[in-house]
Amino acid sequence: MGSVHALMPKPPKRDFVKLYANEGRILRFTAQLYNAKAEDADRLFVLNFHLFDDTLSIHEPPQRNLGIMTGKFLEKNVHLNQNTGKLFQPADFLPGNILRVYNTEFEVIDMDEYTRKFFEDGGVKRSFDLEAVLQKLREGMRQQYPLVRDIFRKFDSDHDGVLTMVEFKNALAKWGFQVTEEEALIIMKQFDTRKDGQISYNEFCDNLMDEDCHTTMMKQRAPLDADVGNYPDLARTKLEQRVETEKVRKAAQAIGNCVYEHSATFMRLLKEFGHLTHLDTVTCEQIQQALEGIGKSFSLQDVQRCVSYVLPGADLNKVSYVDFLRQVVTSFHDLSGKR
């Protein structure tokens, strides 16, 4: 029985990315019968091509004094263009083209405005009303979560107290808004009142919650500004800074844990430094060698990050190793949480 089941053809895999990106997008065309008889010359058909699954449906809208029963002409399904021998594609429905399906030929004569814009944009999904997206985002968040705090915690994946451009775009995706990076930055700029490239908790609350009505008229929110200016560069710079900050925190915490974990490690490192140099200062390379001497391996970049954190402004080629070790131990407990 296992061999018999193996011979059964499996259904083709569905393109979920295409389904998600093109859901609800339908191209509509008007067509007439090609080389029709005199009694069918005035018949008009509407061709619906669904982009998310490449299916085609045809119906005949009601026409006055036509004398023919109108309605559904072809069920929605994947159909073959008999003129080309291939499945239907959007380019097959351009006005003037002749297509053949189930031995019936149609001549495409026109298309609706949405379809015309689709072809003018080269098949690229047009930008939608970002102001409406912003309003739907606010309303949807308020309905699903009673507390703004819970919304912010859900989107702040690294729990550092701010939303970066990557986290904000992921938040939009979770709510079903497939926007480009530029469109996400336009909405993010509306939340970021300080324009520092990230969204703090207070900024998030101010934009999501309505202000108290302390005057005779409610204060209107500022309209969405579609001009991002240099905000994308600012947001990317802030994102890089957050990533580097996290690397510094992890490096300082790892080296601090190494020194702080056993009290004897402090003295062992002092002896290693004494073997490497007769001076009171060492380089970052020598710090790396001393750590390897006690069986602890760290990259040079992590050592430099740790030195810069515990001794701000210190010369990386002349680091007082006694002060370095003391500051590593002193600052160890300050790195227990996000900063």
- Catalogue all structural domains in the chain, each as residue range(s) with its CATH number: 16-120 (2.30.29.170), 132-229 (1.10.238.10), 241-335 (1.10.238)
The Cα–Cα gap between 201 and 193 comes to: 12
Q: Is 313 exposed, middle or buried (0-12, 13-18, 19+ CB in 10 A)?
A: exposed
> Helix 263-276 and helix 284-293: axis angle, to 10°?
120
Torsion of CA 333, 336, 337, 339, to 10 degrees: 50
- Could you tell me if 256 and 332 are in contact, meaning their C-beta atoms sit under 8 angstroms apart? yes
The Cα–Cα gap between 267 and 180 comes to: 55
Q: Three-state secondary structure along 253-302?
A: HHHHHHHHHCHHHHHHHHHHHHHHCCCCEECHHHHHHHHHHCCCCCCHHH
Pure H helices in the chain:
2-7, 16-21, 113-120, 130-144, 148-155, 165-174, 181-191, 201-208, 231-261, 263-276, 284-293, 300-310, 321-330
Question: What b/e sequence results for 91-103 when a residue is b if at least 16 CB atoms lie within 10 Å of its CB, and e otherwise?
Answer: ebbeeeeebebee
Instruction: For residue 51, count other CB atoms closer than 10 A to its CB.
Output: 19
pLDDT at 141: 66
pLDDT at 106: 92
The Cα–Cα gap between 221 and 123 comes to: 34
Determine the 3-state secondary structure of 28 from DSSP: strand
**Residue whose C-alpha is closest to residue 127's, from 75, 181, 163:** 181
Q: Which helix (H) or strand (E) holds 26?
A: strand 26-33
| Phi, psi angle pair for 49, to nearest 5° | -110, 115
Instruction: For residue 137, count other CB atoms closer than 10 A to its CB.
Output: 19
Q: What is the pLDDT along the chain (339 residues), one digit of tens a residue?
A: 777 766 777 777 776 666 666 777 888 999 999 988 888 888 889 999 988 888 899 988 888 777 777 788 888 888 888 888 888 888 889 888 899 998 889 999 988 888 888 887 765 444 445 556 666 666 666 666 667 777 788 888 877 788 888 888 888 777 767 677 777 788 888 888 888 888 888 888 777 765 544 444 444 555 556 666 788 888 888 888 888 888 888 888 888 888 877 778 888 888 888 888 888 888 888 888 888 888 888 889 888 888 888 888 888 888 888 888 888 887 777 665 544
- Residues comprising the chain, all counted: 339
- Could you tell me if 171 and 136 are in contact, meaning their C-beta atoms sit under 8 angstroms apart? no
Q: Is 250 exposed, middle or buried (0-12, 13-18, 19+ CB in 10 A)?
A: middle
- Positive or negative, the CA dihedral 153, 154, 156, 162 is negative
The Cα–Cα gap between 111 and 94 comes to: 8
Give the pairing of strands 281-282 and 319-320. antiparallel
The Cα–Cα gap between 105 and 43 comes to: 13
- Positive or negative, the CA dihedral 119, 121, 124, 129 is negative
- Where does 40-158 show beta strands of DSSP type E? 45-50, 55-60, 71-77, 80-81, 86-87, 98-101, 104-111
